[in-house]
Amino acid sequence: MKGAQNRVGSSGRGSSQSSWVDPRLIVLATLVLGAVLTAFAAQAPQPKPADQQGRQEGKDQAQAIPTSLPKGKKLVLKDGSFHLVRSYERKGDRVRYYSVERSAWEEIPTELVDWDATGKAEAEDTRRKQEAVEKIHAAQMAERAAELDVDASIELAPGLFLPPGEGLFVVEGRTIVPLVQSTAVIKLDKKRLLTQVLVPIPVVPTRHRVQLAGKRAKLRLTSSQPEFYMRTAEAREPEMELIRAEVKGDARQVEFVSTQITGQQSSQRKTISTQRWTVARGVYRYTLSQPLELGEYALAEILPEGMNLYLWDFGVDSQASGHPQNRPPLAPSKASGKGQQKQ
């Protein structure tokens, strides 16, 4: 047992001696590793702080934005050249001016200045500035009209609003009335029909009458100068005509159409000149070129293929008869009813 223990102890000391490392080697390895890491860190790009990066980006953007040239007016010289100045003043035989190009006050003799040309240059500059202001104002007004909501109520006068929705409206004084459409019909001229029966050869032109039923329209006006407002769908621009209807028996004739033997058609209508004004996108105002006489009228939309048979009819009575008759109640407010329109 004692011999075995001696062998074990001897074996333990031998193992301890074989695993021992010199401390100086550890220190040297640590120094070498630290030097290598420091070298890699020096070569790697250093990230910029957020505020410094933001300032640099702002500086780059500022350099990319083009800056306008300084503005001034011309001080024209007699040799044809000029100084671009901010302002100038005459002091005896000298002219003192602030140079826009050099940002400093300078002086020259007054005899070198062409005062007539300088005055014309100032007048021309003023005119151009005024034209620019007017163009900007017109563009702003056009943009406002384009952005205006068509379905929103439009104030025609203080406290008087155009009702929302599509349709045609008539304004008479402080009253707004929606016009209702009536359907016109086409009737063949009986005299021409009899002639065609007697003459079987188709050489007699055909004549048709476009008319509305009844002698009088339901809507009656008393003003000789009403105004009309139309709100359209999809902001289209309608071509409208105001037609004087002629009472024929129990109907009101608005158009007379003739068809020649060649197939060519011609139409006759008694129209009254109107002028169209753009109020907003898809909203138009129509004014009359002359007062309306007593009688029957109809507003028609003229399409490329001819007159639309859906007409807005009304009549004009004497002002002595009082207020307009047979018109639906409509208060002048934003909550007014909608007009009707047939397509």
**What are the structural domain ranges in the chain?**
73-147, 154-321
pLDDT of residue 188: 73
Residue range 105-119, pLDDT digits in tens? 999 998 999 999 998
174-223 confidence digits (pLDDT tens): 888 999 999 988 887 655 444 443 444 444 456 788 999 999 999 999 99
The one-letter amino acid code at 276 reads R
What Å distances lie between residue 86 and 98, 102, 106, 132, CA to CA?
Answer: 6, 11, 11, 20
* pLDDT at 324 (0 to 100): 43
What's the pLDDT at 21? 60
Q: In the structure, what pLDDT confidence band is assigned to residue 247 with cuts at 50, 70 and 90?
A: very high
Sign of the Cα torsion 290, 296, 299, 302 reads negative
Structure tokens at 83: 């100084």
Give the chain's mean pLDDT. 75
Choose the weakest-confidence range: 60-64, 93-97, 98-102, 241-245: 60-64
Torsion of CA 163, 165, 166, 170, to 10 degrees: -10
pLDDT at 290 over 70: yes
Give the CB-side neighbour count of residue 14, counting CA atoms within 13 A.
Answer: 6
pLDDT for 46: 56
SS3 content of the chain, % helix, strand, coil (to 5): 30, 35, 35
- From the centroid of its chain, how far is CA 140? 9
Share of the chain above pLDDT 90, in %: 32
pLDDT digits (tens, 9 = 90+) for 166-177: 899 999 888 889
Most confident of 9-23, 155-169, 178-192, 238-252: 238-252
On the question of pLDDT at 281 being above 70, the answer is yes
